[in-house]
Structure formats: structure tokens, C-alpha cells
Structure 1
């Protein structure tokens, strides 16, 4: 089944976001001595620097989701180094008009690019992707939790 075939119709997505937490993966990608973050274009956390991530699809393992998200959001494959743990993220916004919150149960994975010189591209969720160097301070609190685990 392709990703296109797995898309959830908007009315169903609205019902899901209004009523249940979303299972997701977040990628903490180390690169060039820092961590890759993207400037978010959509809610939640629009305008913030955040790690790439996405919802786990039905019948997809979390590690399969990591690889799908890396290919789709970064345009490059990653190697998973470690699982940093599972976190709950509560947001008071969503991308759906009239839905004022979103809840994720996110598993964060420490990763690196498979290639030494990846050609990292963006997607419609990020206006730009950049590598941020330590010290890691002043980021979104959920990103700081991940960086503290490194």
C-alpha cells in the first residue's frame, strides 16, 4: 500500500485529532557536529525550530516510520543509532480549523545520515533545514528534552 493510499480523509483526521493521541516518531539527526532542525511551516509549533517527525501509519513499525519520514522530510536515508525514549507532547494548537489542541505520544530516535555528504532537501512542513551546534539552549521545550538525552 502506498503512502497516498494510506491518507486519511480530512473528516476522519479531524475526528482522530479531536479524540485520541497520535502515535508519532521524531528524528534527532546528528550532522556536522550538531543537530538538524527544521523551521516549521504548519501547526503545531509553526515558526519554531523543531526536529523532523511524523505520525506512525497503521501496520507500520516505528522504525519503518523513521525511515519513511527521513526519506519524505529530509530526502535522505538515516541510520538509527538509539531510541531516546517515548514522550508526551501536548499542544494548544492544531492545523485543523476549530480544533484547538493536539496530543502526541512521540518516540524520539537518535539518527545520523547514511551518506557522509547527504543532499538534504526540505518538504512542505519546513521552510528551511539547518544544523544547530551545541550548546543547545533556547529551543522549543520538547526539542530541548531530546537534546538533553544526547
Structure 2
């Protein structure tokens, strides 16, 4: 299986092949070979051993368009491009057209607004900061555009799936 993963602004080409042993994978990341053992502990939680180092990976359940994982205490946004995926093919076909809504990924409290209504923003620019479970999460713009609607203010409480803003 071949996929492309973008993390921290870097695009990595990954080739995955399952080994004969259950849970063991041979991988090539940008042409460099890696052996990894992956075990799903429960939905959204993965135990990963890469070249002898152990990692606990937790996928954030998100109503927002941004995909996020936690590796230890580090929060990382990521994007996976799988050429076999319908979603990937749709994204490459002009996924930045039209208005995009930013939604709260989990219940929390709006700490601050980083952009105002009418402001021009760039892709991946922070728009709203939400505090949830004693962590601050920045909700970012999915595209270059203009903030046409802001539905929250500092101090507001939100639930998962609430619309925070609209970017056109």
C-alpha cells in the first residue's frame, strides 16, 4: 500500500507491506526502510513499536476537517493522501471551492479568537482556540479565504460539532 502523509508541513511518501507475523509491518518512509509492530488496543488507540522504540498513538475524534493524533503528550495534525481513496480523489478535484465550516472537535470553552469576521486568512492559520481537558487546541482554516461568519466569542462553551466559523 502506498500513501502520502503530511505532518508538520512535510509530505512523506510511505510504502507499507504487512509481514508474515501478525501486527508486524515493513515500511519505507521516503525510501528509508523501517520495521514497525502495530497493535490496536481499542478503537482510536494504537500501540506502535518502531525500531525498538514504543509509542502510544491516540487518534482524536473530530467533527472538524483537521485530523489530529497524540503521540505521548505531543499533538500533531496530519493529512493522509491515499490514491485509492474516494475522499482523496475528491480533495484533489478542487476541495477548496465554496465555503468551509469550522466545527468544534470536542466539548470545551473558547479561549480566544485569532481572526475576526471579514478578515482574510491563509490555509492552516489559526482561527479559534478552544480549551478542552486542560489542553488548548487551535482550530485552523482549511483554505485561503475570508472569514465570513464567527459563531462564538471568548468564554463561550461549545459542544462537539458546533459550528465555530465559516471561511469562504
Normalised by the length of structure 2, the TM-score is: 0.27
Larger fraction in strand = 2
Which structure's CA Rg is the greater one?
2
Larger fraction in helix = 1
Normalised by the length of structure 1, the TM-score is: 0.29
Higher RCO (Cα < 8 Å, 6 or more apart)? 1
